[in-house]
Structure 1
Amino acid sequence: MPAKSQAQQKAAGAALAAKRGDKKKSELKGASKSMESSMSEKELEDMASTSQKGKPNHVSS
């Protein structure tokens, strides 16, 4: 599932780094913290690899 905003793509990248052990899980905040625990590595890869071009910074609900 591709990211819908730049913020979501960045959060997925941070969560993926923590899941792989490149970043400490204690450094995660907000959405990236919940993404790390609730999503698989494959799902995070798909979301983090989404291009930011043309995406809004944030998407309101």
Structure 2
Amino acid sequence: MPASSKAQQRAAGAALSAKRGETKVKDLKGASKDMYKSMSEEALDHMASTKRKGLPEKKD
């Protein structure tokens, strides 16, 4: 599922980075921490790779 806002895309990118071991899990906060726990690496990769052009900053 593609990201529906820029904030969601960034959170998915942070969670994916932690899932791959590039950053520490303890540094995650809020939505990115929830995404880390509940989503697979493949799903996070798909969401994080969404193009930002045309996306709202935050979802209404």
TM-score interval, smaller chain: over 0.9
Task: Give the superposed CA RMSD.
Answer: 0.3
When normalised by structure 1's length, the TM-score is 0.97
Per the alignment, residue 3 of structure 1 pairs with 3
How far, CA to CA, are the matches of 1:21 and 1:10 in structure 2? 17
2:19 aligns to what?
19
Deviating beyond 3 angstroms after TM superposition, the runs of 4 or more aligned structure 1 residues are: none
- Residue ranges of structure 2 left out of the alignment (5+ in a row): none
1: CA distance between counterparts of 2:37 and 2:19? 8
Q: Percent identity among equivalent residues?
A: 62
Deviation at 1:56, TM superposition (A): 0.2
The 1-side partners of 2:23 and 2:36 are apart by 11
Return the TM-score normalized by structure 2. Answer: 0.99
Q: CA deviation at 1:22?
A: 0.2
> For residues 34 and 20 of structure 1, what CA distance do their matches in structure 2 show?
16
The residue aligned with 2:53 is 53
Q: Which runs of 5+ in 1 are unaligned?
A: none
Deviations 1:3-40 (A, max 9, x none): 00000000000000000000000000000000001000
